[in-house]
Structures are given as structure tokens and as C-alpha cells.
Structure 1
Amino acid sequence: MARLQFLLVFLLTGLIVGPVRAQLSQTLRLEMPVSTTESQSFDVTPLADQGVLLTVQEGGTWLDNSPPRFTFRKYDTQLRPVWYRSILEERTMRPVTAFTSGQYRYQLFRAIDSNRFRIIRVSTDEGMMDAFEGALVDDMSIQQFKVLGSQAYIGGYFRGRPIVMSFSFFDRSVRVLPGLYANNVEISSIEVDEYNQEVNVLIHSTKRHCQFTVRTYGYDNKLIRSLNFDGTQNSLISGKILPVNENESLLVGNYSADCTPYSQGIYVTRIRRDSSGVVDGEAAIRDIQYIDFSQLANFFNYLKPKQQERMLARANRKKEIGKSYKFRYKLLVHDLLPTPNGLTMVAEVYYPHYRSSTLANGSIRSMDRYDGYQYTHAFVCGFDQAGKLLWDNCLPINGVLSRELSEKVQVSQLGDKTILAYPNGGQINTEVIQGNRVLQKPEAVRLLTTDGENDRVTFSENDELMPWYDRHFLAWGFQKIASRLNYGMQREVFYINKLSYELDRQLPVLRTAATRKSDEPKR
């Protein structure tokens, strides 16, 4: 593979003097030229203060017949190269998904002409790689992939029924987890519990009152327990589990009031173990708390004041006659974020967006065309370790339409303050909150290029954002950039920007600009 050049840029942000406020500034940028002759995909994995892992795939898509080449590149927190490794897979192997846990990155491949699969395990410390191969059930589709210790869990569907397989890295054995292969059942998620070395498979039934079940398996793949939440009154749609300590976990998600995929609110319950390690399942089911959206103080803040008033007035009129107002929100619930006092839950509200178009073919008719997922807002809730709701807040999402349903809003904790941010069209939109309070209203920060004022971004897509470490974020995506100095000159790049948040700035700060080319990292 040809040697690639990277540019590291310390960007000029200027002299800042004025009132105390919060500010997101761009400190570093890395650019990689995008190939014009072969397909490429890029994946960024933040490694906290250990740096960042960049995975580049070239070729090996479902549309061509070339073998996929994967290059893994690690950079430190200053975006300086540390090491890189490269592998060329079999021509018949296609990448499916990846998972990162602890010090390892796991890349899952499957063959297009058989039921074989392969997992490449990459050490994020030194770049050492191991390969493990096994066999799937014939014609199994893959939807979920998690790793716990020395076992991988692959979830999906076989003949329309859910199936989860465990794969041992020690002896390459494959086992099917019992009790999941049934009609009218869907997998909500697979949650791994590092504390207790258990795997929780969350499933829900599309019939029988939309029963929601948490099935827990031990490291030996045997069923330990099954918690069944009957959907007669409220049906649980999704769930995320966060271990609070060795003896207690919190189950949090969204629920429906009428056995539909539309959310009425969120729920929380405690899953507790006694001194002998036995879980009190009846208490978890009995003590579940349902929190209607109208009970959240700030959920509707994405609406204009008059719209909020009308919405809440309708909900209150229903309550006065002993009925509940039926909300019709679709939610994407993130993994739960641990805090010193409990956890933070983040969820994004979206709806499928259709665009009307007119076709002329002898006659004129109108048709709706699916256009992607339109995001409206995100809401954040803080809970204590007992599952008590402490606060909630809201971030409006403007102009985000995505072909794929994925997490857009990212959260970073800075002391007792929370930073909410999402990318859109080459800029980062941020808001700073403190519990129920909004300390800084939403504002947009445009991503700078390597040449600042002499560059003009003509196109930006696949913008992503993740919290990195301390007060830093990583933003990445694809851009087409035209030079103002050389008319007609345009470059297409994959970029990674390091962004830093500073709160309560009081002293003048001057940043200077400098550029340099990095050396080739060691193999």
C-alpha cells in the first residue's frame, strides 16, 4: 500500500478576552486523501487517553469481487502515528461489523459462499493480531455482535426466528444459546455484564401482550434466569442494562401504552442480588417505574412555547378524565452512561421521512419516496443508583436527515456540567447543561480545514462525533475542499478533528498555527 501523508494542524483560534463562557475550539486536524479508483471506508474508535484507532477498508464490498484489505492505524492524543498493521482477507470474506472492548478491537467477517465466519482480534496497545474461525448456522443473518472475555456472541435470525450463538476463542467451539428460537420474537439487544461475567439477551414478543423478557446466560452458556415483563398494561420496547456494582444493575428503556413501536415514556427498574448472588426477579418486575413524557420537565423544549402549551394541555385534559394521552414518538436509546452517583440516559427522537414526487408516464400521479430518518430532538435523564429520576433536559436537533439510523448526539461530562453535541454539514452543534438548567444555549461551531481562510468546503457528508477523553471530542467524516488560491483545484479527504471544550474561561488565550508532516509509523 502506498505511503500516505498526514497533515497535523494547530489552528489559529485568536485572542479571546471577555466574559466567562463555554467554548468549543478546534486544536488538531488530520487529513487522509480519499482514493478515486477504489472503494474505501473509514472507522474511528476513540481509545480514551490512550489515543485513537483508525480502521481503513479498501475493496471487498458486496458490489465487487476484490479481496478486502484492512489497515489499522493507532494515533496518540496529539494525532501522531504510533503503529499500523495491514491484513489482506480472502476474496470470499466480507466484513460485517466490529466491536471494541477493553484493549481489543474485534472485526467480524463472513464468507459469501459458505457459512464460515472469521474474527480478527487486534490489540489496541501494540497492534498484535489473532484470527479465529468458526461456522454459523446456514443462512443466518447477523444483527448483533458482542464479546465478553474469551467468548464472542453473534445474534441474528434464522428462518425468521431469533438465534444467538456463542463462539469460544479457546477451542473454537460454537454453541447456540437455548430458549430463544421461537416465532413472533425479536431481539432488542445483547448486553454483556463484566461485573458478573454474564450475558443478557433482551427480547420482546410481537404477540401475547408484547411481553418483554431479559434472559441471562452464564459464561458456560447455560440459562441462569428469565425476567418476564408482561405487556398487558405497558409494553416495554427496548432496554439497556448498566451494572451499578456487583450486586445491583439498572434496567432502563422506553415503553409503549398500546403494544406498538411508539413510545409513551421511559421506564427504570432495579435488578438486585442477595448475599448468595440470587436475583430477586419478582421485585424487579413489581417495582418498575413508568415515567410518562409529560412528567419530564424539559422533554417538549424542542417545540415552540405555544406548541408546548397545546401539547401539555391535551395531555392534562386526558389525565383529568382518568385517561393517558397517547404519544407517538420513536426513540433510539443509547447505551447507559455511568456517573459517580448513578447513570445518564440519552435518547434521540426520530421519524421516517418521506418525500412526495410526481411521475409522468402517460398519466401524472404522486408518490411518496422514503428519504431517511429525520431527527427532532434528544433528551437526557439523570438517575441515582436506586433508579430515582433526578433531572432531565433537552437538545433540539435541527436539519439532520440520515439514511441510516445511528446515534448522532454525544455526551461528555465536565465536572458537574454536561456537554451535548452533534455534527451536521461540517459543523458541530453544542449545548451545555447542568441538570435541569441550560447554561449555554445551542450554538454551532464550523470545522476548520488545514488552510483556514484559503480553503472552502464544498461538500461534507457522513459527519460523526464521539467524546474522547477529559474535555476533548473527536469529529470525522468526508469533505470536498476547494482552494481559494488555486482556482479549480479541489481535494477530497477523510478528516479527523480534535475538539476541546473549555468552561469558565477568564484569561486571554492565544493559539498559534503550525503545520508539519508526520513520519511513517513503525510496523
Structure 2
Amino acid sequence: MPYIRTLLTLLLHVVILIPVLAQEPSQPVRLELPFTSENIDVEVIALPDSSLLVYHKSSNAWQTKASFHFTKYNSQLEQVWSDTASLSPDSYYIRSYTEQPYTYMVFGADDQQEYTFVQLHNATGQLAHKRYELDPLDAIYEYQVLHGNFFVIGRNKKDQKQLMLYLNPANGHLKPLPSVYGDESSFSDLLTDPEYNRVDAVITESNGRISRLQVKSFDTKGKLLNNYFILQKEDKSLLNAEVTPGDSTQKLLIGTYGTRDLRYNQGFFTAPLGATAIADGEFYNMLQLKNFLKYMKPRREERTRRREAKRLKMGRTPRYHYRLLLHDLITTPTGYVLAAEAYYPQYSSNTRNMGIDRTITLGQLQDGYKRTHAIALGFDKNGVLLWDNTFPLVGVSTYELTHAVEVQSLPDGRVLMAYPRDNTIIYHLMDEDKYDREETELELLTYEEDEKVIDTDQAGIIRWYGNSMAAFGFQRIKPKNGDNRMVFYINKLTF
């Protein structure tokens, strides 16, 4: 009997342990390319067929000579095809967009009105490129393709406001699209919907005191189809939103709202696109979210909730202030996931030494954007909030306001968030609203166990396919025997 009890206990432990072990990410394959960060620029792009497109530019120190390479690797990081393009040496990568069977890439140049568009056939690697003069622009922010037609959001060179353009690459026809008007207006989202042959642009309009949203829909040739004005609720200003795909009768806006200070978010909202008034939508303030404040220490969260609940009961505005950087909306089989990063600007003192014991302060300089936490909210197809969860971000900052965290919806319904830190990946798996405070760290593996990573540069991570992400960057590696080597690595991570 003792033997049987021991065996049953062991089997019970194995049953409990198997799900835990199954959650450990694996690194089934790694690719190393002999690149150095001093003279090579690299971009890694996930393709819909579970492959990766790797672009790299190799140039001399004076940027007078350069070669441009495009290589496709399959899901096992084996080369499928490779090709080159004869672009101007001053060309630099800006954005890419995949519309099967092609991936389109846009490159800028020293001349801020000249842009080169590259078209790659994903299956064969057949390549074509052409340079266009986009005279109204001096920068490109967003770029998408619908049935071979280009839609570009950039900066107007005359007044520095945001501008949206339609470009027909077949004949070079360029047309500004009616979009942003006010000084404080900007684009919140751009979504191409090939199933319904339309492009939806979400625009935030503000006069500095109140903010509202409108959605403009265009056909494949840039013709305006519809213009939706989202009416305000009495005490709320709509700040930013993502639009869902689908028929116009099914489309939703999912975004953030504020109150008096338009710099800060007070909560989230969902609303049907065709609503006659925003009152038809749902509003969720920060206190209604189960896990939004979990990045705080428990006592601080408790004090914050108690204080803010008292203010709301007295009819006063909340004191919590959050700036949120939204991610693209993720469509799931049951609804949608909206992710965002909470951030605040960092400042450093600008001082000048005037001599012995004399230093004057000239003011403060903005020194990037620091994150406090990332959040994910799950909605059903009607825009009803189902759950929320939080990923605390410790010591995470970016010089420019760009996404620091990658987000991926896994086939089993969990949401994965991850970001690189030196030779490790910090990640968090969200199972709806089940909060886990522990930070999980994964060290990236090299080819051999006895190798040591000396340093890592320009580390990144992107969502790939299924349960897999791709981590990449430059590394200097010291083997057990022999000289150090410099490589650009790609590690496949399967969760």
C-alpha cells in the first residue's frame, strides 16, 4: 500500500507539472547571419504563410555605395529565395505592408519628396520598384495597400500637419484625400478592408478644449464613400480609437476618452460606427477595470481606488492621469483585443557650467518616454468588455513614442506580450483577467551551450504565426575556443 500511495502521489505531481512545463517557451531554431551593426541595416517582416522576409542594406561609411537585399526564410529559418534591388544609395526603409501575393515596401531618400516603392512577390521573390515624387510630403507615417493601390499618411511640407494621399502606382496618379482640418487634428487609425473594398481612416479632431472622432471611408480609387461624425457624450471627449473590419452595419470604434485635460485618458469606450449618438456606446472608467491598476503595489492600488471612488461619488473628476499609446486592434474568433502602453515623458535638466562653483539651469529637455505598464482589454463582437489584464513594465523606455511591447493573440485565446532586454525576452501570458504579478524572463539561446553572449544591440521581437514569435538583433558572441564573432540573429520562440 505505501508503494501504491507513493506511485499515486508521483503521478499526481506529474499531472500537475505537465501544464506548467507546457507553458515554457521553446527555441527550436536559430539563424545567424554574418552582419555587423556598423554598416548594415536590417528589417525582419513576418509574412502570412508562416515565413519571414529579411531585408538588409549594406553600405560604405560615406553612404556613396549601397546594396539592397531581400531574402525569404521559411518557418524553420531555411532560405527560400533571395534577390537584390538597385536603389539609390541614400534610400532608407520606412514601412511595409503585405497584401497577398505581394509585400510592398516604401523607402525614403535625402530628397524628402522622393520615395521608392518596392513590390515583392512573396512566393517567387520576383521584384519590381519605382520612384515617385510625392511633392506634398516631407515624411511618411503610415502606408497601406488595397488591391494594389497605395494609401499614405504623411506630413504636409507646407504646414507640417498630417495629410493623407492616394497613389495609383500603375499611372503615378496622386490625389490628396479629404481628411484632417484643424491644427490639433490627427489620424488615430488606418484600416484597409479588402473584403469590402474600402479604407477607413479614423480622425481625432480637437480645438484644445474638446475632442471628437470622425471616420472617413474611401473606395479602392480614393473616392469618399462615407463620412461618420461620432457625436460627443456630455462630459467626455473621445481621444483615439481603432476601427473594426467588416460591413458598415457591424463596424465598431474601440478607443479611449478623456474629460477636461485632453492629454490624459480617463477610460475606454466602444460604439457602433453608425450610431446616431455616442450614448449608444459603452464607457468604462479606469476604476471599473479589474486589473488596470495592478502595476502598483497592492497598498497603493487600494489607496488609489478608495480615493478615486470617493471623488466619483462626490461628482468630482478623477485625479488619475494616463497617457496611452494604442496598438492596432487584434481580431479574434470571439471578438477583439485592444492593447495599449501607459507612458509619461521623461525630462532631464539642461544645465551650463559658468565657472568655479557656478552652474545655471536653462530648463528641462525631454529625454524619451518611460512606460509604467501595458494593458489588454478583451471585447465581444458587440463591443462589450469581457476582461482586462495588465503587464507591469519596469525600466522600459523609448526615445521616440513607438511601441515598446509586442502583442500576439494565441490560438488558445491567451494574449502574449513581450519585449527584449539585452539577451533576454521579458514576456507575460494573459489568460483573460487572471492576473500574474511575476515577471517571466527567457534567455535567448546561441548555437552552442558553452558560447557566451558578450553584448546585444538593436534587439527586437515581432509576432509571427500561431504560437511563435521571432526575436532578433545584433550580437557579439564568444565561443569556448576561437575568436569572437559578430552576427545578426533570429531566434524562433514558441509559447
Is the structural similarity TM-score above 0.5?
Answer: yes
- Unaligned residue ranges in structure 2 (runs of 5+): 1-13
**Within 5 A, what are the aligned runs for 1:334-483?**
334-356=327-349, 359-362=352-355, 363-366=358-361, 368-407=364-403, 408-438=405-435, 441-452=438-449, 454-483=450-479
1:287 paired with 2:283, answer no
Partner of 1:517: none
TM-score (normalizing by structure 1): 0.83
Deviations 1:373-421 (A, max 9, x none): 2121111111000000011111111222222333213223141433332
Given candidates 57, 77, 80, the residue that maps to 2:78 is 80
| Contact 2:453 2:475 (C-alpha < 8 Å) held by counterparts | yes
Amino acid at match of 1:364: T
Q: Is the 8 A contact 2:202 2:243 kept in 1?
A: no
Report percent identity of matched pairs: 27
| Aligned partners of 1:432 and 1:441 also within 8 Å | no
Tell me the secondary structure at the aligned position of residue 310 of structure 1: helix
Aligned alpha-carbon RMSD (Å): 2.6
Q: How far apart in 2 are the matches of 1:389 and 1:153? A: 32
Aligned CA distance change for structure 1 residues 417 and 230 (closer, same or farther; 3 Å): closer
SS at 2:294's partner residue? coil
Structure 1 CA distance for aligned equivalents of residues 423 and 85 of structure 2:
32
Cα distance in 1 between the residues matched to 2:326 and 2:147: 25
Given residue 422 of structure 1, which amino acid in structure 2 is its aligned partner? Y
Q: Is the 8 A contact 2:188 2:203 kept in 1?
A: yes
Where in structure 2 are the equivalents of 1:17-36 lying within 5 Å? 19-20=17-18, 21=20, 22-35=23-36
| More moved, 394-403 vs 207-216 | 207-216
C-alpha distance 203-424 of structure 1, shift in aligned 2 (>3 A): same
Q: How has the CA–CA distance of structure 1 residues 264 and 114 changed in structure 2, closer, same or farther, with 3 Å as cutoff?
A: closer
Q: Does 1:155 align with 2:156?
A: no
Cα distance in 1 for residues equivalent to 2:164 and 2:480: 54
8 A contact 2:30–2:446 mirrored in 1: yes
- AA aligned to 1:234 is K
Residues 1:55 and 2:49 aligned together: no
Query: Is the 1:185–1:205 Cα contact (8 Å) retained in structure 2?
Result: yes
Letter in 2 for 1:109: F
CA offset at residue 42 of structure 1?
1.0
Question: 1:99 Cα shift?
Answer: 2.4
Cα gap change, 1:41 to 1:19, in 2 (>3 Å): same
Deviates more, 1:230-239 or 1:196-205: 230-239
When residues 461 and 356 of structure 1 are mapped into structure 2, their CA distance, relative to the original with a 3 A threshold, is farther
- Structure 1: unaligned runs, 5 residues or longer: 1-15, 272-279, 502-523
8 Å CA contact 2:59–2:89 kept in 1: the answer is no
Indicate which of 71, 88, 91 corresponds to 1:90: 88
Q: How many residues align?
A: 471
Q: Do 2:231 and 2:276's aligned partners in 1 also have CA atoms closer than 8 Å?
A: no
Counterpart for residue 104 of structure 2: 106
- Residue 286 of structure 1: CA displacement? 3.6
Deviations 1:260-311 (A, max 9, x none): 221111111122xxxxxxxx3415x341222111110000111110110111
Within 5 A, what are the aligned runs for 1:35-46? 35=36, 39-46=39-46
Query: Residue 122 in 1 paired to residue 123 in 2?
Result: no
- Equivalent residue for 1:250? 252
Contact 1:433 / 1:440 at 8 angstroms: preserved in 2?
no
Find the aligned partners of 2:58 and 2:78 in 1 and give their Cα distance. Answer: 22
Alpha-carbon distance in structure 1 between the residues aligned to 2:477 and 2:367:
26
Q: TM-score, normalised by structure 2?
A: 0.87
Mapped contact 2:340–2:376 kept (Cα < 8 A): yes
Inter-partner Cα distance in structure 1 for 2:164 and 2:413? 40
The residue that corresponds to 1:496 in the other structure is 490
Structure 2 counterpart of 1:447, one-letter code: L
* Distance (whole Å) between structure 1 residues aligned to residue 117 and residue 214 of structure 2: 29
Q: Show CA shifts across 1:458-507 (max 9, x none).
A: 22232222222222221111222233544xx4332211001122xxxxxx
Q: 3-state SS of the aligned residue for 2:96?
A: strand
Q: Distance in 2 between matches of 1:419 and 1:338?
A: 14
* 2:298 is the counterpart of 1:305: yes
CA offset digits 1:305-353 (Å, max 9, x no partner): 0110111112111111012313321111111111111111111111222
